[in-house]
Amino acid sequence: MEEKIKIYIPESVNNILLKDMELFEFFKKDGSLNRNEFYNTLIVNYYEQYEENQSAIFSHIKDSISERSLIKDQDVSDIAADILQYVDVRTFQLDRQKFDVSISIKPTRRSSDDIGYIQNCLLGNSTLSNYFRNMFASYSLLPQDKRETIIFKQNFELIDEAIENDRKIYFTTASSDAPHIVSPYMIASSKEELFNYLLCKYNNFPYSFRMSRIRQIKILNESRDLANDIIDVFDKMAKYGPQYSYEVKKKQVPIKVKLNERGQRSYRLMYLHRPQYFKKEDDIYYFDCSRSQAFQYFSRFGSNAVILEPEDLRTDLHRFFESAARKYRKINRLNKEEITE
């Protein structure tokens, strides 16, 4: 298949596709988005899962009709197909949107056979353009971390295989061709359902790598090396946030934070990267999260949150605000001098 496939999709679906291209770093050498590579990757990695979901719904509709009527089998299939098409339209909210964005897909060597199979065996009464439109709309409704597992499907499968067979892996990253040889422990999703992270032992320390940035995975014929103290750290990272690291063999002092009324309200409303407290005494909250997570989260609260313990974390936050205050004072002073002149 050589010719381009033109698809008309709603703007909302197109926006999510463009967002994912950027988040998952599908770029050409000139820095522009590599749209065609992304579309073909999505088709190859998602069509089987999409078809299984559609087939399950179709079979359920067909069985329900057959159990309650004496309609001929062929008529039952036609009715079920019509209902499924209506369900797709309503589920993807395509009846409320205009198909005003045109995208073009040029099949690649990797996707050509799969697209040919879809065209010859899976379309039914639909067109290839409608099939892909519904498939892309279905993809756009998934949480971002689930979309990441689709786009990088082969990497997820290789890491799962390595973990199952107790093997180390080799890989590079999107930002560097430097080799990484690690002992993988698990893949964990962030609490905000944004990204997935590989938790692994790297250079004798617990590390997390964002899955969308891992490239060129190879499974090595070498057993993993994971001590219990590192596994304990990984379990804590998976619980509180896999993107944040902890130190090994260092007793974790509970993080004690005093929140005033505004701070408590902000804590309820600011969901992104929010750590969960394990104890609360009036306006004092206790956390067992990593220091980096606490610093990143509570630095947004200003004077509405004060870290009481540990002392070194309180000092770090103090210096952070003090440095910002100096810069603001300098700008204010310069502005006043310009006004007086």
pLDDT digits (tens, 9 = 90+) for 242-269: 888 776 655 677 899 999 999 999 999 8
Q: Determine, yes or no, domain membership for 301.
A: yes
Q: Which pLDDT band holds residue 86 (cuts at 50, 70, 90)? A: very low
Kindly report, residue by residue over 35-83, the tens digit of the pLDDT. 999 999 999 999 999 988 877 665 656 556 655 565 655 554 555 555 5
Report pLDDT for 55.
72
What is the residue-wise DSSP string for 229-260? HHHHHHHHHHHH-TTS---TTS--PPEEEEE-
How high is the pLDDT of residue 59? 60
CA 336 to mean position of chain CA atoms: 46
Helices 35-67 and 128-140 sit at what angle, rounded to 10 degrees?
90
Q: Look at residues 123, 141, 159 and tell me which one is the last residue of a structural domain.
A: 141
Residue 249: inside a domain, yes or no?
no
Co-location of 197 and 316 in the same domain: no
**Residues 57, 112 within the same domain:** yes
Return the exposure string of 153-185: e unless at least 16 CB atoms fall within 10 Å of the residue's CB, then b. Answer: bebbebbeebbeeebbbebbeeeeeeebebbbb
- Assigned domain for 248 exists: no
Domain extent, residue 137, equals: 5-141
Cα–Cα dist 327/333, whole Å: 10
> Domain ends where: 240, 274, 290?
240
Residues 157 and 268 in one domain: no
Where is the domain boundary, 116, 141, 166?
141
Give me the number of domains the chain comprises: 3
* pLDDT tens digit sequence for 164-176: 999 999 999 988 8
Residues 212 and 330 in one domain: no
163 and 106, same domain (yes or no):
no
Q: Give the pLDDT confidence of 109-155 residue by residue, as tens digits.
A: 999 999 999 999 988 778 899 899 989 999 999 999 999 999 999 99
Average pLDDT over residues 285-308: 89
The torsion of the CA quartet 207, 152, 154, 201, rounded to 10 degrees, works out to 0
Q: How many CB atoms lie within 10 A of CB 32?
A: 9
One domain, residues 170 and 63: no
In a domain, 320, yes or no: yes
> What secondary structure letter does DSSP report for 94?
G
Q: Tell me whether the omega of the peptide bond preceding residue 179 falls within 30 degrees of 0, making it cis.
A: no
Q: What's the distance, CA 66 to chain centroid?
A: 41
pTM of the model: 0.75
pLDDT digit string, tens, across residues 212-237: 999 999 999 999 999 998 898 898 88
